[in-house]
């Protein structure tokens, strides 16, 4: 008898009542509720049933199944309330079966539609029942953000570590925003995602951020900053202008804006955070020509990880990216402009490699030679580059073993292999603001 049929045959229920202390306790009454809440796919149905129906069995399965709950919205409140606040007389152990394994929740709030009182209730509920290891990401979208919203999020859940401001208008002055987001006020905040965030009144974007004697008083320290922009509105929220003291370890930036005013802010932001950057990801929608011109002469003294993108000709059709078309320019001119004394890990994303690994033997031959040359040149220049990651969207990657993929790539980059550089492989996912950082 298979595990699946055993679970549905009722045999375990008989074992449960046989008096053996080490046999599992079943919670069949909550299985459907939990499964509907986390909205699993069919291929995980059997696994999660195994994880849910017993208290002692499948600890590892439960731990990984419930570790991250994403795509949570306000309509999840009734289901979550039913799980975490069971009716009087029900088995309280049910709550622990589910809640103790949750490590991260990504909550989406539509400020134009959602009732803020219920949003606070949802955040408070998670904070009350999930463990201290739980971390919350709150993505605020499509509406007006007031300082009271941010204060409520902090007070309802002290473990809110990631804040997203996506297509929102900030109804506050710049100093007010700095007060609520700074390290002293929100010490748990480590990650921010910003896209299309503007001040409701553009004049509020120009308020200064200093004390009376001119000494900076507010600091923002982030591990990750996602900065994605595709328009050049007045009143833009620029973190480096809001906080005179700002530290960012890893920056993911995508800009596709033709307005000169917008581009003036990009090098200014990079100049401010370059001394602290450990990782820089510019492997998304980017006009490398304008980008390198804008940041020419900057030094990144701590940068160890760099992600770039190459595009061959007109083969790239996803989104509104500006095709580079000239790999040699990307890998020689761009890297020549950047001062990267401690670069250790170079990731090169092949943007239009969306088909099959077999293409590596054909149209990408010239590209691989350039990649090989550029990586070795970096290694010889800095003597620190130790790893080259080739990232692509190959649809048939799963048909090859990982070691076979690595050997295939080493064959495409022979000079890197001779230098002892580690050649790795990465399957690219679309990087957006809403995923876990």
Mean residue pLDDT across the chain: 71
Write the pLDDT tens digit of every residue in 8-35: 333 333 323 333 333 344 444 455 555 5
Residues 102 and 203 in one domain: yes
Total of domains in the chain: 3
Instruction: Tell me: do 62 and 202 sit in the same domain.
Output: no
Is the pLDDT score of 351 beyond 70? no
Band the pLDDT of 57: cuts 50, 70, 90: very low
Looking at the DSSP bridge assignments, the partners of residue 36 are none
Strands, DSSP E only, in 258-385? 279-281, 305-310, 345-350
Clarify whether residues 166 and 39 are in a common domain. Answer: no
* 16 located within any domain: no
Domain extent, residue 225, equals: 67-87+96-208+217-277
The pLDDT assigned to 334 comes to 62
* Maximum mean pLDDT: which of 42-56, 125-139, 407-421: 125-139
Asked whether residue 198 is domain-assigned, the answer is: yes
The CA-atom distances, in angstroms, between 94 and each of 83, 354, 416 are: 8, 44, 54
User: Ranked by mean pLDDT, which of 8-17, 290-299, 309-318 comes out on top?
Assistant: 290-299
The answer to whether 341 and 301 have CB atoms below 8 angstroms apart is yes
Q: Structure pTM?
A: 0.75
Burial bucket for residue 36 (CB in 10 Å: 0-12, 13-18, 19+): exposed
Model confidence at 275: pLDDT above 50: yes
Predicted local distance difference test score (pLDDT) of residue 375? 75
Measured torsion, CA atoms of residues 170, 148, 162, 125, in degrees rounded to the nearest 10? -140
Residue 6: inside a domain: no
Asked if the structure places residue 365 within a domain, the reply is yes
Tokens of 247: 């530290």
CA pair distance 106, 233, nearest whole angstrom:
28
pLDDT category, 119, cuts 50, 70, 90? very high
Backbone φ/ψ region at 89: left (φ over 0), alpha (ψ -120 to 50), beta:
left
Q: What is the mean pLDDT of residues 333-355?
A: 67
Shared domain for 273 and 308, answered yes or no, is no
CATH code for the domain in which residue 163 is found = 3.80.10
Q: Is the pLDDT of residue 402 over 70?
A: no
Nearest to 66 by CA among 85, 78, 87, 80: 80
Residue 314 CB burial class (10 angstroms; 0-12, 13-18, ≥19): exposed
Cβ(390)–Cβ(426) below 8 Å: yes
Residue 384 has pLDDT above 80, yes or no: no
Please check whether residue 94 is in contact with residue 53, taking contact to mean a CB–CB distance below 8 angstroms.
no
- Of the two residues 256 and 202, the one the predictor is more confident about is 202
Residue 142's pLDDT is: 92
In a domain, 386, yes or no: yes
Contact criterion met (CB below 8 Å) for 52 and 28: no
Residue 291 lies in a domain: no
415 domain-assigned: yes
Q: Is the pLDDT of residue 389 over 50?
A: yes
The answer on pLDDT for 230 being more than 60 is yes
More confident residue, 396 or 66: 66
pLDDT at 425 over 50: yes
pLDDT digit string, tens, across residues 88-118? 445 554 556 677 778 899 999 999 999 999 9
Q: Which residues contact 322 (CB under 8 A, 6 or more apart)?
A: 256, 285, 286, 287
Element (H, E) at 397: none
Same domain, residue pair 238 and 351:
no
Q: Based on the fold, state whether residues 123 and 252 are members of the same structural domain.
A: yes
268 forms beta bridges with none
62, 73: one domain: no
- β-strand 305-310 against 345-350: which pairing, if any? parallel
Instruction: Give the C-alpha separation, 176 to 191, whole Å.
Output: 19
Got the DSSP string for 227-256?
EEE----TTB--HHHH-SEEEEEEEEEEE-
pLDDT of residue 135: 94
Tell me the pLDDT band of 302, cut-offs 50, 70 and 90: very high
């Amino acid at each position: 008898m298979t595990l699946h049929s055993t679970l549905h045959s009722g045999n375990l229920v008989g074992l449960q009542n046989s008096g053996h202390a080490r046999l599992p306790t079943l919670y069949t009454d909550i299985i459907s509720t939990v499964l509907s809440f986390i909205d699993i796919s069919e291929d995980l149905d059997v696994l999660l049933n195994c994880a849910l129906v017993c208290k002692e069995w499948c600890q590892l399965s439960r731990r990984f199944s419930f570790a991250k709950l994403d795509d949570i919205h306000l309509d999840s409140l009734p289901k979550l309330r039913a799980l975490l606040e069971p009716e009087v007389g029900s088995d309280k152990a049910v709550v622990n079966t589910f809640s103790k394994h949750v490590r991260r929740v990504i909550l989406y709030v539509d400020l134009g539609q959602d009732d803020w009182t219920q949003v606070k209730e949802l955040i408070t509920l998670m904070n009350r029942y999930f463990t201290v290891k739980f971390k919350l990401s709150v993505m605020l979208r499509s509406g007006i953000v007031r300082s009271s919203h941010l204060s409520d999020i902090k007070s309802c859940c002290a473990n809110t570590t990631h804040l997203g401001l996506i297509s929102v208008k900030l109804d506050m002055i710049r100093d007010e925003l700095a007060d609520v987001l700074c390290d002293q006020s929100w010490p748990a905040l480590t990650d921010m995602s910003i896209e299309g965030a503007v001040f409701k009144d553009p004049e509020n974007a120009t308020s200064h951020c200093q004390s009376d004697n001119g000494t900076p008083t507010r600091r923002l320290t982030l591990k990750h900053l996602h900065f994605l922009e595709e328009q050049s509105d007045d009143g833009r929220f620029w973190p480096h202008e809001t906080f005179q003291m700002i530290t960012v370890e890893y920056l993911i930036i995508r800009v596709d804006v033709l307005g000169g005013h917008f581009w003036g802010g990009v090098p200014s932001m990079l100049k401010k955070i370059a001394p602290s950057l450990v990782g820089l990801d510019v492997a998304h929608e980017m006009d490398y020509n304008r980008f390198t011109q804008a940041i020419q002469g900057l030094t990144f003294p701590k940068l160890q990880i760099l992600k770039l993108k190459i595009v061959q000709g007109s083969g790239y059709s996803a989104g509104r990216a500006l095709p580079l078309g000239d790999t040699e320019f990307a890998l020689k001119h761009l890297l020549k402009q950047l001062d990267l004394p401690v670069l250790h890990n170079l990731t090169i994303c092949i943007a239009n490699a969306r088909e099959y690994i077999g293409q590596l033997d054909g149209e990408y031959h010239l590209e691989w030679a350039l990649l090989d040359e550029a990586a070795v040149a970096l290694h010889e220049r800095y003597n620190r580059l130790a790893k080259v990651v080739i990232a692509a969207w190959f649809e048939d990657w799963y048909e090859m073993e990982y070691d076979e993929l690595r050997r295939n790539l080493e064959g495409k980059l022979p000079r890197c292999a001779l230098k002892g550089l580690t050649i790795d492989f990465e399957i690219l996912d679309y990087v957006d603001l809403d995923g876990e950082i």
